[in-house]
Structures are given as C-alpha cells and as structure tokens.
Amino acid sequence: MTKSEFVYVTYIRTTPEKLWDALTNSEFMKQYWFGMSCESEWTAGSPWRLQFPDGHVADAGEIAESDPPKHLAIRWRNEWKPELKAEGYSLCVFEIEPEDGAVKLTVTHSMDRAASKSVEAFSGGWPKVLSNLKSLLETGQVVVSRTVDCRGEAA
C-alpha cells in the first residue's frame, strides 16, 4: 500500500448544520479541541490555519472542497515539526451524513506516501477531539478540557 490513511467514525445526536458549525466556528472549536482554534473562510481555495492557544501555528493549508453542511476537505500540513512539514500535504476529509435523528461524522486523514509520520501524528489526536466534540454537542460539556501548549502537550 503506497498510501497512509486512517478513518474515524462517530455518531453524534445533533443536526448536520450544528455539526458543521462546530467544525468551522473558531470559538466553539476551542472548547473541544483543547484550546486549539482554526482560522479560515471555509470556502474552496481559502487558506486554513490551526493554531495553538498561544497563537503559534500548528498546521496550515487550504480548503480543498467545501459543501456545507455535508462535505469538507482540507489540504493539511504540519508547520512546527520540520520532519513532518517535509512530508508535505495530507488530505483531511469530513463527511457528515444524517442517520435517524443522529449524524454520522466520518473523518478520513490520508497522504499519498507509505508510513507517513504526519498521518501517524495526526491519528493520535483525532479520537480525543472527536469524543470531546460528541460529548459537547450532546450534553453541552466536554470530558477533558485542558489546553495544550505549543508542543502539543498538556499545559
């Protein structure tokens, strides 16, 4: 296999519109993404940045595809670890599908190279972010609320 890829799925009892808003609203995002926030216009071709709470840029890229509230694709590159940045861009795709009063969120993060360190690094963070997101949308509370410092460790 010449591709590194992982797929995460979570079912959230919410609406596609609310989930889209949660994924694209910078202030809301801070609550479930350990203080990280995104800046983007969220339209195809617009720049995208993920920042640590202290303002350092963690990852950056651009919106590849945007079809609210169903489909979002981001060209995504790590900006703060030289060895990861050197691997170039990965593609992160969010798919939102309504399913009987709940919403299925599928996150696919991939890169066209075998054993990508970037994809491995990204894959560690997604489950925590997704389970916090689910909890926040369903109950109004996150499970773990600590923020991260610019090395990505708990501050």
Partner 1 sequence: MIARRDYREFENHGPRARDAPFFGLTCNYLVAYYPDVFADEDKVFKALADSNRRFLLDRLREKGGLTLGDLCEGRDMSRQAVTKHLVLLEAANLVVTRKQGREKLHFLNPVPIQEIYMRWIGKFEQNRLQALHNLKQALQEDADDQV
Query: Hey, what are 94's tokens?
Result: 């969010």
Residue 4's CB: how many other CB atoms inside 10 A? 21
Among 26, 46, 112, 146, binds partner 1 (CB under 8 A): 146
Among 6, 44, 45, 83, binds partner 1 (CB under 8 A): 6
Among 49, 57, 62, 131, binds partner 1 (CB under 8 A): 131
Query: Could you tell me the strand order of the sheet in which 102-111 lies?
Result: 4-12, 102-111, 90-99, 71-78, 57-67, 47-51, 37-40
Check binding of 7 to partner 1 (CB under 8 A): yes
Among 108, 113, 121, 152, binds partner 1 (CB under 8 A): 108
- Rounded CA-CA distance 8/108 in Å is 6
Among 43, 46, 70, 127, binds partner 1 (CB under 8 A): 127
Give 41 or 97: the residue with its C-beta nearer to partner 1.
Answer: 97
Check binding of 120 to partner 1 (CB under 8 A): no
- Rounded CA-CA distance 42/67 in Å is 9
Contact 148, 53 (CB under 8 A): yes
Kindly determine how many residues on this chain lie close enough to bind partner 1 according to the rule CB under 8 A.
Answer: 39
H or E segment and range at residue 106: strand 102-111
Give 86 or 154: the residue with its C-beta nearer to partner 1.
Answer: 154
Check binding of 27 to partner 1 (CB under 8 A): no
CA separation, residue 54 to residues 20, 148, 155 (Å): 25, 9, 11
Residues found near partner 1 in the complex (CB under 8 A): 1, 3, 5-11, 13-15, 18, 99-102, 104, 106, 108, 126-128, 130-132, 134-135, 137-141, 143-146, 154-155
